[in-house]
Each structure stands twice: as structure tokens, then as C-alpha cells.
Chain A
Amino acid sequence: MMKKKVVDHRINWPVTILLIIGCVTIFFPLYMAVIIAFKQPSEMTNDIAGALSLPSAFSFSNFTEAMRVTDFWHSLGNSLMLTIITVILTMLIHSLAGYAIGRSMARSKAYNFVYLYLVSGMFVPFAILMMPLIKQTAQMGIANRAGVVILYVVFYIPMNLLLYTGYLKNIPLALEEAARVDGSTTWHTFWRIIFPIMKPMHATVAVLTALAVWNDVMTPLVIMSGTGLNTLPLAQLNFQTQFGTNYNLAFASYLLALLPILIFYIFCQKQILNGVVNGAVK
């Protein structure tokens, strides 16, 4: 028994070292991006040295210029607004849906069908929806940020429904029964008992939804075009003109777009990783 304990606490150094070396594959591309972002176009050459050498001076001029071109603060504001509102709505609406459908599936064929119908939405290619949606949102007067949020809420139903109903299986019915005996309505029971219990799954849904919304280009591009509003990924497209890309400026702006989510990740990585893990465990 004693011996076994010792074995348990031994650090597996070879694996640790291998894993640390492996980190290079993660950091190397990021290092490259940072280096390029700090250089001037005249420092760029078509060879390995030009790509990897340190810039002659660490000047933030690329960053300030990139912030000007992308109208950084406004774009950031829009991205934040879309992300936050979408995340809140998905948590509220999708958990409700997960609850209603998940609890009824076992008994009712109709709910089973609804479940399959919604989840199969995962396999619809966005390309086919795009053009009809552009027309539809315009006709409904929601070719704007509100429309984008609505679309996100709809697009993420399949995945989130899968996650919430999966998690619900682990929540014993007895909890609700007890509440019902106390005379609480189903609606109330959900908000008072089920919703809080689903907290780990909310974290998962929030993280996955936030990442997807934050990095999405296509939906705001086709729905919000013409409103004069940009999100951060949309503003990145400013650097994609056919007849001239300023890599240095572009990379500076990519880093600027990465920064908010990176900071968020550094501070919340524990919660994020736990959230994702919970989602997987169900």
C-alpha cells in the first residue's frame, strides 16, 4: 500500500518534457505573427530570415494604424455586443428547449421527432441558407444586428440542444417531483431548480457559443452589409484587397482581434476548460 502511493505521486517526466517540447508547435506560429506585426513593409523579404528575424524596432505604429483602419473600438463594441447578447439568449432559450424536449422525449414520439428535426439542422450547409436568408431578413426588417443575433440563436439550437438534453439525463427526476409536491409550477421549477443545476453546462454552451460568434465572418458579412456597422472579423477584411495586402498591418490587426479573446482566455482558462470538459462528459 505504501509503495503504491509513492508510485502514484511520481511525476512522469518523459511525458512532461515531450509535452513541453510539443508546445513549440502551438507557439511558433503565434511568434511569427507577432514578429510580422511589428515590422515595416520595407523590412519584409522573401526568405526565412525576413520572416523570423526580430524587427529592427518595436514600434506600435502598425497597431495604431490597424486600429484606425478597422475602427477598432466600434468594431470591438459590436463584436462584444453581438457575442454577449447571443450567449445570454442561447443560455436562456436553449436550456429551456433542452428541458422541455429532453424531459418529454422518453414518453412522446412527437418530441422525439422534434428533437431529431432540430438536431439535424446541424448538417445543413450555411451556403444554401445564405441567399434566402438575406432576402428574408431584409423583408422582415431585421437586416441588422438584431437579425444576426436571431440567426445565431437559431443556428446554435442543434448543438446546444444536444448538450443540454444530454446533461439533463444526469439530473434525477426526483428533484422536480419534490418541487411539484410543494405546488411549484413546471415553469417555476425550471428556473428555481433545473436552471441552476445546469450551471456547468451553461459554462460549456457559453464558451462554445462565444467562440463561434466572436470568430464568425459570414453571417454579419451578408446580413449586416449596408448598415455601416462592422465586427472585428469583418474589419479584418479591410486588409484583403486584391491588389495589395500590407501583411504587417494585417497581422497587427489579426493580433488586435485575437487579443480580447486571448485575455479573456488567460483569465478564465480554468472555467473554460472545465466548461468544455463538462460538455463532453454530459
Chain B
Amino acid sequence: MKRCMKGKLAAGLAAAAGLSVILSGCGTGEDNGKVTIEIIQSKPETATYFDQVEEEFNATHDDIELIIDSPNDANTILKTRFIREDYPDIIAIGGDINYSNYLDAGMLMDISDYEGLDSIKDAYLDIDKELEFVPMEGVYAVPYVANAAGILYNKDIFDENGWEIPTTWDELTALCEEIQAAGMQPFYFGFKDSWTCLAPWNAISVDLAPSDVCAQVNRGETTFTDNYREVAEKTKSLLEFCQDDPFAYSYNDACTAFARGEAVMFPIGSYAVPQIQSVNPDINIDSFVMPASNDPEENVLNSGNDLQFSVMAECEHKEEAYEVLDFLLEDENLQAYIDDQNAIPCKEGDFDLAPMLDGMKSYIEEGKVVDYQDHHYPSEMSVDAMIQTYLLDDSENATDTFLEKFDREWARYNRDLIQKVQDYMEEHPDAE
């Protein structure tokens, strides 16, 4: 009897062991003398492009095996990988607060010796410099493509009515009134998704507030109350020209409505174009720079690094990683990306831009671009939700409440950072 039981137990254990082998799969790939370079890129919508690049690269390179992952929740995936200390060789992320944080945590490699950097436009390298919490030696990212945010407009409707592109704030509001008088809707917002509140906010703030306002605040030189009042008021005043109850509709709904001609303009980034075209492939879209100031000279294009490559500090194959970057930066491949995503190249050279960027082209060529302000906001502070709250607040002193809250929350969420910046300033009294 007992023997029998032990036999069963042994069989059970063997089965369990077998099971765990099946479950864990074959795991690590075999060593075939190739160097493996793994990239995790954070824009799932570009997965098709990167799959193709991966395939072409591997077909033409015998010594390197390239793996590009395009997970759908890249932020979570990257963080879980970092927790496990299982680092990819290269990460492709946007130039935003995450980049600043990873850089600050010492996770990225200095790649100032990479030759490909020479062909990158200075404006975009400067944007990355501004993302450093405290000034650092070296270069830590290769900007690949940028996006731009301003106002998308329905070109056909504009042409039919003979409307002109506004270049000042007064012209913009006058145009909106004209559109309303013509019985149409100037804007359609998708403020249910709170992040869309940042689109007009960013576009307006680049015109009206200093580009490094966050760094200035961290150094204790100024406050948001002093810099953001006009930005806040102007963002809110756009609500006069949109549909009823903009907080009921999501980003998707707004894209659908704009695609169907229910609104003439849409203050959003170029990234929205593929979604709009999926609803109405024939729509004729162009864009212009948000004219938040009444001085046309002050109006600049809101553009930031949408995708940039950083080599991880743990990467053991720097040479091979550079070879991969070279391949990605080849004009042909970059152009394919631009065509696919209506993106703006960060590289010098003669690229064909998507037609809906026509209205912004001169700004791009002149480098009159300023980064998104929200790339400096810590994500846990949820500035988007704060703006949404402010836009929903009908009370008379809403702006004061909002600005006061902005300063207070900023100090709270950035406490460690502000400490760090001020320590740095004490150590380097001559810097800036």
C-alpha cells in the first residue's frame, strides 16, 4: 500500500517537473556566434515598420542579429524589465520625462562618440539637453523623428469659404467667430481623455512661456503663477468655440467628428492624422502653428522628439549597437518611417514631408521649434487632469486656484528633484 502511494507521488513529481519544463518553454536562444542587439521601442503603432526594418537588417547582416520589440504597454514593460535588471541594448522612447528619469538614474550610455550624431539637427539635440534635470556631460540619445502640434484644419472647408490662416491670437478668435457665424463648429475636443487637454495647452505655452520654465522653477527663480496665467486663460477661452460638453467625448470621438467635417479645426498633434484618415481617407488636412501671441514673431512650432534611441549603459556591444543605429538612420529607412507616420525627421537632409505638415514646414526648416512643456512634467503629477479640472471649473477665480495649485503640487511632486537641482547649484555656483 505504502509503496503504491510512493510510486504515485514520484509519478506526480515527475509530471510536475515535466510540466514546469513545458511551461517555461525553451527559454534562452542558442549561441550562434552572432551578437544580438535588442531594441524595445515604445510606439506600438509603428510595429509594422519596425518589423520590416528588423527583417531587412537581419537579411543583410551576418554578424548581428537584431530583435525589435514593440510591446503595447511599453512604459510598464520597460519598467518591469528594469526591475528585473534585464536590460535591452537600445531603447527607443519619446523625449519626455521618462527619458529624463532614466538618464538621471544613470541607465543610459554616453554616446557622444557616435558619428551619426553629426547629421542630427541641433534644435532636436538641444531639446534633449533641456530634458536633463541637472546639466550633464555627453550625449545620451539620438533623436530620430519629431512630431508637431498646432492646429489641424479641414483644407477643403477653408478653401470653400476663403478663410485665411491666422497668424495672431486675435486673428484666430476672429476666425472662430466667423466660422460660428457661418453655422459651423470651429473646434471639436476630446477632453474625456484628459491627455488631450495638453495638446492646446502645450501649443499655447510654447508661444507664451519660456521653454525652460520648469527648470527655472526648480532653480527657484520663478513661479508658474507668473508664467502660466495667460496660457491658462487662453486655453480656457478655446472652450467658447467647441461643441457642447467637450468632456463627454474621447480623443477617438474627436478624431471621428473632425474626419466627418463636424468641426473645421482640431488643436492636436500630427500623430492624430492616421486615426482621422482611418475614418475618412479622403479628407484634405493641413495644419498651422498655434498663434497664441499677437506678435507673429513670438509664435513658434510646438515640436518634440517623438522617438529617439538611447543605448543602455549595460549594453556590451557598443559597436554593433552603433551599426544598428546607422542602419535605422539611413535616409531610405527614415523616409519609410516618415511616410508611415507623417513624422518629421530629426536628421538633416532632403526628406519628403507629409502634405498635412505644409503649413508648418517653414518653421521646421528654420528650426523655430520648442519642445512640449509637458515633457518636463512628472507623470504622477497628472497635469493633464489638473488642466481638465481647471477647464471644468466655472468659478470666477478658477485661474488663481489652478495656478496656485500648480505651484504647490509642483513643489510637492518634485521635492527630491528640486533638492537635487539646488544642491547642484551650490556646487556649481557659476553654472547658468
Can you name the residue of chain B whose Cβ is closest to the Cβ of A225?
B77
| A246 touches which of B77, B86, B257, B278 (Cβ 8 Å) | B278
| B72 touches which of A134, A142, A241 (Cβ 8 Å) | A241
The residues in A between 30 and 60 inclusive whose CB is less than 8 angstroms from any CB of B are 41-42, 44-46
Contact, CB under 8 Å: A46 / B249: yes
Instruction: Please encode chain B, from 4 to 34, with 1 for each CB lying within 8 Å of some chain A CB and 0 for all others.
Output: 0100000000000001100111010000000
A residues within 8 A CB of B81? 225-226
Can you name the residue of chain A whose Cβ is closest to the Cβ of B12?
A92
In Å, the complex CA distance between A22 and B320 comes to 64
Q: Is B331 an interface residue (CB 8 A)?
A: no
- The distance from the CB of A225 to the nearest CB of chain B, in whole angstroms, is 5
Q: Is A203 an interface residue (CB 8 A)?
A: no
Contact, CB under 8 Å: B72 / A226: no
What's the tally of chain B residues with a CB closer than 8 Å to chain A? 40
Q: Is A146 an interface residue (CB 8 A)?
A: yes
In Å, the complex CA distance between A176 and B373 comes to 72
Binds A, one of B120-128, B168-176, B267-275, B355-363: B267-275
Contact, CB under 8 Å: A244 / B252: yes
Contact, CB under 8 Å: B5 / A134: no
B residues within 8 A CB of A131? 83
Q: Is B321 an interface residue (CB 8 A)?
A: no
Contact, CB under 8 Å: B5 / A188: yes
Known contacts A145-B25, A221-B76; decide if A243 and B45 are in contact (CB<8 Å).
yes
B residues within 8 A CB of A271? none
Contact, CB under 8 Å: B252 / A245: yes
A residues within 8 A CB of B274? 243-244
Q: Is A197 an interface residue (CB 8 A)?
A: no
B residues within 8 A CB of A229? 25
B residues within 8 A CB of A188? 1, 5
Contact, CB under 8 Å: A144 / B25: yes
Q: Is B256 an interface residue (CB 8 A)?
A: yes
A residues within 8 A CB of B2? 185
A residues within 8 A CB of B428? none
- The distance from the CB of A275 to the nearest CB of chain B, in whole angstroms, is 25
Looking at A142, A143, A226, which has the most chain B CB atoms within 10 Å of its CB? A226
Contact, CB under 8 Å: A134 / B83: yes
B residues within 8 A CB of A143? 84, 86
- The distance from the CB of A222 to the nearest CB of chain B, in whole angstroms, is 5
Q: Is A85 an interface residue (CB 8 A)?
A: yes
Contact, CB under 8 Å: A144 / B5: no
Can you name the residue of chain B whose Cβ is closest to the Cβ of A235?
B72
| A225 touches which of B76, B249, B257 (Cβ 8 Å) | B76
Q: Is A180 an interface residue (CB 8 A)?
A: no
Instruction: Please encode chain B, from 330 to 369, with 1 for each CB lying within 8 Å of some chain A CB and 0 for all others.
Output: 0000000000000000000000000000000000000000
Contact, CB under 8 Å: B72 / A144: no
Q: Is A135 an interface residue (CB 8 A)?
A: yes
| A187 touches which of B5, B24, B44, B255 (Cβ 8 Å) | B5
Contact, CB under 8 Å: A146 / B24: yes
A residues within 8 A CB of B23? 81, 85, 144-146, 149
In Å, the complex CA distance between A80 and B45 comes to 28
Q: Is A273 an interface residue (CB 8 A)?
A: no
Contact, CB under 8 Å: B1 / A185: yes
Instruction: Please encode chain B, from 85 to 99, with 1 for each CB lying within 8 Å of some chain A CB and 0 for all others.
Output: 110000000000000
Looking at B77, B86, B256, B257, which has the most chain A CB atoms within 10 Å of its CB? B256
In Å, the complex CA distance between A131 and B280 comes to 43
Q: Is B260 an interface residue (CB 8 A)?
A: yes
Contact, CB under 8 Å: A146 / B275: no
Q: Is B80 an interface residue (CB 8 A)?
A: yes
Looking at B71, B76, B257, B280, which has the most chain A CB atoms within 10 Å of its CB? B71
Q: Is B262 an interface residue (CB 8 A)?
A: yes
Q: Is B195 an interface residue (CB 8 A)?
A: yes
Q: Is B279 an interface residue (CB 8 A)?
A: yes
A residues within 8 A CB of B73? 221, 237, 240
Known contacts A185-B1, A185-B5, A244-B255; decide if A222 and B24 are in contact (CB<8 Å).
no
Q: Is A259 an interface residue (CB 8 A)?
A: no
A residues within 8 A CB of B24? 142, 144-146
In Å, the complex CA distance between A85 and B15 comes to 12
B residues within 8 A CB of A185? 1-2, 5
In Å, the complex CA distance between A134 and B251 comes to 33
Q: Is A247 an interface residue (CB 8 A)?
A: yes
Known contacts A143-B84, A185-B1, A241-B44; decide if A222 and B76 are in contact (CB<8 Å).
yes
Q: Is B253 an interface residue (CB 8 A)?
A: yes
The residues in A between 229 and 260 inclusive whose CB is less than 8 angstroms from any CB of B are 229, 237-238, 240-247
Q: Is A108 an interface residue (CB 8 A)?
A: no
In Å, the complex CA distance between A190 and B81 comes to 43
Q: Is A25 an interface residue (CB 8 A)?
A: no
- The distance from the CB of A42 to the nearest CB of chain B, in whole angstroms, is 6
In Å, the complex CA distance between A187 and B73 comes to 47
Q: Is A227 an interface residue (CB 8 A)?
A: yes
A residues within 8 A CB of B86? 138, 143, 226
In Å, the complex CA distance between A245 and B190 comes to 13
In Å, the complex CA distance between A190 and B19 comes to 24
In Å, the complex CA distance between A41 and B277 comes to 10
- The distance from the CB of B70 to the nearest CB of chain A, in whole angstroms, is 10
- The distance from the CB of B49 to the nearest CB of chain A, in whole angstroms, is 14
Contact, CB under 8 Å: B77 / A226: yes
In Å, the complex CA distance between A2 and B256 comes to 67
Looking at A145, A185, A241, which has the most chain B CB atoms within 10 Å of its CB? A241
- The 11 sampled A-B contact pairs (Cβ below 8 Å) are A46-B256, A46-B260, A144-B27, A145-B25, A146-B20, A185-B1, A221-B73, A226-B84, A241-B45, A241-B72, A244-B275
Contacts beyond the supplied A134-B83, A226-B81, A244-B275: 4 A-B pairs with Cβ under 8 Å:
A41-B278, A45-B256, A138-B86, A221-B73
Using a CB–CB cutoff of 8 Å, the interface residues on chain B facing chain A are: 1-2, 5, 19-20, 23-25, 27, 44-45, 69, 71-73, 76-77, 80-81, 83-86, 195, 249, 251-253, 255-257, 260, 262, 271-272, 274-275, 278-280
Using a CB–CB cutoff of 8 Å, the interface residues on chain A facing chain B are: 41-42, 44-46, 81, 85, 131, 134-135, 138, 142-146, 149, 183-185, 187-188, 221-222, 225-229, 237-238, 240-247
- The 6 closest A-B CB pairs, nearest first, are A138-B84, A244-B275, A146-B23, A145-B23, A237-B72, A225-B77
